[in-house]
Amino acid sequence: MYNVSEQEYVAPDSQLAKENSLLLVRINGTLPDLSTIGDVEKSERAAEVKRMELAANTSCSLFTEVAKNEIFHLLIDVGEGVVASLEKGMTDIASRWSIARLSSIPSAILITHSHDDHIKELPILLNKLSNSDKLNIYCTKECHMDKFPQIMGSRSAASFNLVQPEESFEIGPLSVIPVLASHGENSPPGSVI
């Protein structure tokens, strides 16, 4: 199991700094089991991972207080081990703000691209939503079209919001500018950071 790390960061000259708010960044999940992406002879992605000797965690969470006892949680990517990691770590995160309990369901999700190590546990997270939960998922059109029709089915608790590279948008209290990114030779269209 990958050890969870936290880092506090308050950006100077930002609204967060002016309000003395805390932006907490948490690395989620476990290192992916690279054997699950296939055989190097049959999978371009597996060959790329082996050739480049990749082994990295693919998800993080941003937490900030938006009101007394109300925390906004932006989950960036939902790779392997993320759901269990969120469930285990919410008590520690809640204690930073003296909140008794914090839901493991994020306020919103930003998907950077459609590789399985970035979206693998989205169906698991969606299955945890109650009828009263609403979850906004942000991704590019290419990312959405590549994987999400088969993942989503008829789930009405989640909605997709399409983003464009270089066009800023708001997710809760956060401003985001997605930047078009190359993810190596096997980069899926619409990859952003």
Question: Model-level pTM greater than 0.85?
Answer: no
CATH number (domain holding residue 23) = 3.60.15
β-pair type (135-140, 158-163)? parallel
> Each residue of 94-152: pLDDT tens digit?
887 777 668 889 999 999 887 777 888 888 888 888 877 888 999 888 888 876 666 66
Asked whether 19 and 65 are in contact (CB, 8 A), the reply is: no
Domain assignment of residue 193, yes or no? no
Query: Could you tell me the residue range of the domain that residue 126 belongs to?
Result: 6-176
- 3-state DSSP call for residue 55? coil
Cα–Cα distances in angstroms (integers) from residue 16 to residues 94, 160, 169, 173, 174, in the given order:
18, 27, 17, 9, 10
Q: Is 121 within a domain?
A: yes
Share of the chain above pLDDT 70, in %: 68
The count of domains in the chain is 1
Has residue 119 been placed in a domain? yes
